[in-house]
Structure 1
Amino acid sequence: MLPLKLKIIPSNKYKQYFLVFIALLSLLLLGVYIVNSNENSYKKTIAKVLSISENNFKSETSDGRYEAMKKQHITAVILNGKYSGKEIKLENIVSYSQINDINLHVNDKVFISLSQNVKGNAKSIKILELKRDKYVFYVAFIFILLIIAISGKTGLRSLVSVVINIVIFSIVIELFLNNFSIAFIFLTAMLLFTVLSLIMVSGLNKKTISAVVSTLLGTTITILIAIAAIKLNNSNGVRFEEMEFLTHPPEKMFYIELLVGTLGAIMDIAISISAAINELYLKNPSIETKSLIKSGLEIGKDIMGTMSNTMLFAYFSGSIPFIILLLRNQTPLYNILNENLSLEILRALTGSIGIVISIPISIFVAVVLLNNKRIGEFIKS
């Protein structure tokens, strides 16, 4: 019988785990306290639901159908502002579909609007929306916990890259509001997103350089193909009028949307291919180029199918309520796809083209860089 070998974890590792645990626990407690007692930091009036009584009824819709409804009679207390501590009565109509309303529960917090009479007393009160910051915090904390638990330091670097990208995006919005060229600021931001995100996650090495070069090449080629196809077709079938509410040319905004959406998918493909080929090369430095390319293509084939479906689901998932609403109003499916979802279809197709193109590009760039000794020496220096 073979003896069992137990892996002994160094004591300094236990200290690191303990410190990480204490830091996460402190973050959780601090976050819970803040999101549950931050009413005074909001300008809008916030009320907490104390009790609810309900009456059920049915209402006829515009198409002759009947929908289940209920009327909530709510007692709440105001938590901030001039009327803080005052109990109020609210009414809330809830439909079965809950398209334009919310189903409230005891202890929910809601934003309300108060209109005052001449004497300065509250005249009418209206529920605006649910206060959701605590739910956002809980989901964000679970995400942080999982990514650190599974990926360790790499996951922590990923979180830092997310924070950096949020800062960059905030700067982009500020520049946009100050009338800078929208094309220039977004192209610059995309370059920063790509370089900083990949370096933060994977470090400065051949794998990262390969992923950055592959991402930029793949995204550029994909966007040029999309623009050429739309221009050669004179924009037939492309419903730019869906974006006419913007104060900027809708066509230019659509190309920027394509750039942002395609970049994320291609970056994912590029780092996956580069990491896989780099690992093969490290395991066997004498591996032939043909074998590397063949292995890369096999990996790429597996990634291609799932990523294309991911692009499709990502773009169409947000349109599901709108599609259901149109179908309920007897709008033909052809009209929905042609008139209301043409831009989503184009985004999904462009992203899928980018995925397919980025696979051979990533393989070629990774193989070339791995066989280039000078680049390795430059990074080490």
Structure 2
Amino acid sequence: MDKKVLLNKERIISVIIGLIMIGILAGFYFYRPGDEEFSREARGVVLETDDRDVQGSGITRFGNQFVEVELKDGKFEGQEVRATNQLVGSLAWDYSFSVGEEIIVGIFENEEGELAGAVALDVYRQNWTFILVACFILLLLLYAGYTGLRALLSFAGSLYVIWNILIPGLLDGLNPLIFSGLVLVILSALIIFLIAGFTKKGISAFVGTISSLFITIGIAVFFGSRLALDGLSVPYVGEVLFAGYMHLNIRDIFFATVVIGASGAAMDIAMDMAATIKEIKLRKPDISFTELAKSGFNVGSAVIGTMTTTLLLAYIGSYMTLFMAFMTREASFVRVMNLRLIVSEILRTLTGSIGIVLVAPITTVFAAWIYTIEIDFSVSSIKNYFFNKKDG
């Protein structure tokens, strides 16, 4: 069969599977619990607001905003309830509701199971979130076809592992660095081998990623300890501690987040270098190990140059308002460069950059070696090796 026709068929099949996945996602999204089921949260529409108990001016407000809400789903669908929206003066958490907005409310029942009250939690944003996710799935599948489908599966698998394994394990008090490192090894294997398969390219990218992982762990611990970073400057740490998790090792959790943030970019570079070596080998099958590695280094140097800047822009973009705040207060350079929060981000950025700088040559050398030796990593070859070997 013509290769072009085969690729088109794979792309069509991938899009169909993607549409099925969107349909399943929509099923979960549009599912509404029946009267026999009850959720402490429900969707509602704001009918009326009461700000008489709210104090303060401008964007900082304190007190209770009361909103009259008509419930749109759940056990009490169609009923109206007066919900309380507590404002504590936090720009990150507070939100003043307006008439007509769809919101999420927490429901209270009395002993007879009747509606007793409600608390306004947040704006209902699920509609547009679903549309955004659907656009991402369709565009990925339309462009990348079967490879995009595998990337989507790895994306979903990574979210599952992070939400159901990594975060609960950290909350249970497992050693943050050891446990996170183990989870990252699993995630790297899941993502890389699902995308590239158990091939020379996949194995090369995996080896490069894992090598970078252990290097970045060492860098984060070594320099983080000497920079007197305790992790308490990380956003939302206070909420975790005050929720009953004072026993957690926040410093090591911070080091783990540094490594997790660096692992994604390292995996990207490792896959780029492994794919580059593969393409060079395909175009020139008789190339030597030295020539292959040299060509990989030439490509890697260009890739590294842009990726390190990409990391810098990503981290600065996350804290742009912080830098703006420093500029408005005319803080000195010495003050800024020694502030715990800033130094934490410097550690995060440079640890990831060092990991990227090292993952490129490691992956290049390993890939050049594995592509210049006669080893077949295909599934059929491995099966033949173990099950069809002759005795003696």
Q: Shorter-chain-normalised TM-score: which range? A: 0.7 to 0.9
Cα deviation for residue 304 of structure 1 reads: 1.1
Amino acid at match of 1:211: A
Contact kept? 2:46, 2:100, Cα under 8 Å: yes
Alignment of 1:55-70 (within 5 A): none
| Matched residue, 1:48 | 44
Instruction: Say whether 1:332 aligns with 2:323.
Output: no
**In structure 1, which of residues 88, 107, 112 is the aligned counterpart of residue 105 of structure 2?**
112
SS of match in other structure, 2:216: helix
Alignment of 1:102-141 (within 5 A): 102=95, 108-113=101-106, 126-141=119-134
Q: Distance in 2 between matches of 1:376 and 1:35?
A: 42
Q: Distance in 1 between matches of 2:114 and 2:161?
A: 45
Cα deviation for residue 156 of structure 1 reads: 1.1
Instruction: Say whether 1:188 aligns with 2:188.
Output: no
Amino acid at match of 1:359: A
| Matched residue, 2:80 | 87
| Matched residue, 1:307 | 307
| Matched residue, 2:364 | 363
Q: Describe the shift of the 1:212–1:148 C-alpha distance in structure 2 as closer, same or farther (beyond 3 A).
A: same
Q: Distance in 2 between matches of 1:206 and 1:44?
A: 51
Q: Distance in 2 between matches of 1:368 and 1:296?
A: 12
SS of match in other structure, 1:372: coil
Stretch deviating more after TM superposition (272-281 or 167-176): 167-176
| Matched residue, 1:78 | 71
Instruction: Say whether 1:344 aligns with 2:345.
Output: yes
Q: Number of residues paired by the alignment?
A: 360
> Percent same amino acid among aligned pairs?
24
Contact kept? 2:33, 2:75, Cα under 8 Å: no
Q: Distance in 2 between matches of 1:13 and 1:105?
A: 51
Q: TM-score, normalised by structure 1?
A: 0.76
Q: Describe the shift of the 1:326–1:186 C-alpha distance in structure 2 as closer, same or farther (beyond 3 A).
A: same
Alignment of 1:162-201 (within 5 A): 162-169=155-162, 170-201=164-195
Q: Distance in 2 between matches of 1:165 and 1:217?
A: 20
Q: Distance in 1 between matches of 2:47 and 2:129?
A: 24
Q: Distance in 2 between matches of 1:304 and 1:290?
A: 21
Contact kept? 2:288, 2:372, Cα under 8 Å: no
Cα deviation for residue 23 of structure 1 reads: 4.6
Instruction: Say whether 1:158 aligns with 2:157.
Output: no
Q: Distance in 1 between matches of 2:321 and 2:285?
A: 52
**Per-residue displacement from partner, 1:162-216 (whole Å, max 9, x unpaired)?**
2333343313444445554444322221211112211110011111111111112
SS of match in other structure, 1:85: coil
| Matched residue, 1:213 | 207
Q: Distance in 1 between matches of 2:224 and 2:107?
A: 50
| Matched residue, 1:3 | none
SS of match in other structure, 2:159: helix
**Per-residue displacement from partner, 1:148-168 (whole Å, max 9, x unpaired)?**
111111111122222333343
Q: Distance in 2 between matches of 1:36 and 1:298?
A: 52
Contact kept? 2:262, 2:351, Cα under 8 Å: yes
SS of match in other structure, 1:242: coil
Q: Distance in 2 between matches of 1:369 and 1:174?
A: 38
**Per-residue displacement from partner, 1:278-309 (whole Å, max 9, x unpaired)?**
11011111124443233222221221122112
Contact kept? 2:82, 2:117, Cα under 8 Å: no
Q: Distance in 2 between matches of 1:52 and 1:207?
A: 60
**Please, which runs of 5 or more residues in structure 1 have no aligned partner?**
1-6
Stretch deviating more after TM superposition (273-282 or 260-269): 260-269
Contact kept? 1:32, 1:134, Cα under 8 Å: no
Q: Distance in 2 between matches of 1:24 and 1:262?
A: 29
Q: Describe the shift of the 1:147–1:114 C-alpha distance in structure 2 as closer, same or farther (beyond 3 A).
A: closer
**Per-residue displacement from partner, 1:261-289 (whole Å, max 9, x unpaired)?**
22211111111011001110111111244
Cα deviation for residue 230 of structure 1 reads: 4.3
Instruction: Say whether 1:147 aligns with 2:140.
Output: yes
Q: Distance in 1 between matches of 2:180 and 2:60?
A: 46
Q: Describe the shift of the 1:26–1:230 C-alpha distance in structure 2 as closer, same or farther (beyond 3 A).
A: closer
Contact kept? 1:369, 1:375, Cα under 8 Å: no
**Please, which runs of 5 or more residues in structure 2 have no aligned partner?**
383-392
Q: Distance in 2 between matches of 1:315 and 1:175?
A: 26
Contact kept? 2:231, 2:253, Cα under 8 Å: no
Q: Describe the shift of the 1:93–1:177 C-alpha distance in structure 2 as closer, same or farther (beyond 3 A).
A: closer
Q: Describe the shift of the 1:18–1:348 C-alpha distance in structure 2 as closer, same or farther (beyond 3 A).
A: closer
Q: Distance in 1 between matches of 2:23 and 2:157?
A: 24
Cα deviation for residue 89 of structure 1 reads: 6.3
Amino acid at match of 1:311: L
Q: Distance in 2 between matches of 1:208 and 1:318?
A: 32
SS of match in other structure, 1:287: coil
SS of match in other structure, 1:341: helix
Stretch deviating more after TM superposition (80-89 or 146-155): 80-89
Q: Describe the shift of the 1:197–1:20 C-alpha distance in structure 2 as closer, same or farther (beyond 3 A).
A: closer
Q: Describe the shift of the 1:260–1:17 C-alpha distance in structure 2 as closer, same or farther (beyond 3 A).
A: closer
Stretch deviating more after TM superposition (305-314 or 279-288): 305-314
